Amino acid sequence: MAQSLDGYIAGVNGELDWLDEIENPDKNDFGFADFMLSIDALLMGKNTYQKVASFGFWPYEKTVYIASNSLLHIDSELADKAQLLTGDLPEMLLKLKSEGIKKVYIDGGMLIQNAIDLSVLNEITVTTIPVILGNGISLFGTSNKKTKLKFESSEVLLNQLVKTKYSVIVA
């Protein structure tokens, strides 16, 4: 998950244009392709799905599951690439597990917040972009729960981004 230095994943209206400002002349994928090979599926929230669907191309080869109780259907051109899941997050994860899916990448601010509150995350990887947005959609939002993390690794990418990996300490 990418975030600004002040912890936002998007602008107030979901803008991601600040991500396009990263100088990346060699089109480095920052290990994303290798990461995608290490997971079985993606689970993303409705807002994240709608944002990605608006890009004009679908960036995932793995099946993407859309977590939503209000979305009625998946765009027809993505019907073979994405599936709709309803219910609460534990129910969705059980359904995925029953289908043999073990390692799930959870994407989307609200879904990540829910996963943290429910203690279902094993690790968190955050890539910090050197920009201060000032306001927007927060990566972690607010929570009544404290979650302890253990630092695993940190890597500087393109001499400007900091990718940090943490494991979640289960209390």
Q: Are strands 8-10 and 137-138 parallel, antiparallel or unpaired?
A: antiparallel
Q: What total number of domains does the chain contain? A: 1
Q: Say which residue the tokens 């679908």 belong to.
A: 58
Q: Domain residues for 121?
A: 2-168
Query: Model-level pTM?
Result: 0.86
Identify whether the C-beta of residue 19 lies closer than 8 Å to the C-beta of residue 54: no
Residue 92, pLDDT score: 96
CATH number at residue 161: 3.40.430.10
Residue 6, pLDDT score: 96
Consecutive 10-residue runs of the chain (171 residues): their mean pLDDT?
93 89 85 90 93 88 94 89 94 96 92 90 94 93 86 94 93 70
Residue 49, pLDDT score: 93
Residue 100, pLDDT score: 96
Helix ranges (H only) for 11-156 are: 32-37, 46-53, 89-98, 109-117
Residue 22, pLDDT score: 87
Residue 110, pLDDT score: 87
Instruction: Please tell me the distance from the alpha carbon of residue 112 to that of residue 168, in angstroms, as a whole number.
Output: 13
Instruction: Please tell me the distance from the alpha carbon of residue 92 to that of residue 110, in angstroms, as a whole number.
Output: 15
Collect all residues with Cβ–Cβ distance below 8 Å to 60 and sequence separation of at least 6. Answer: 36, 42, 81
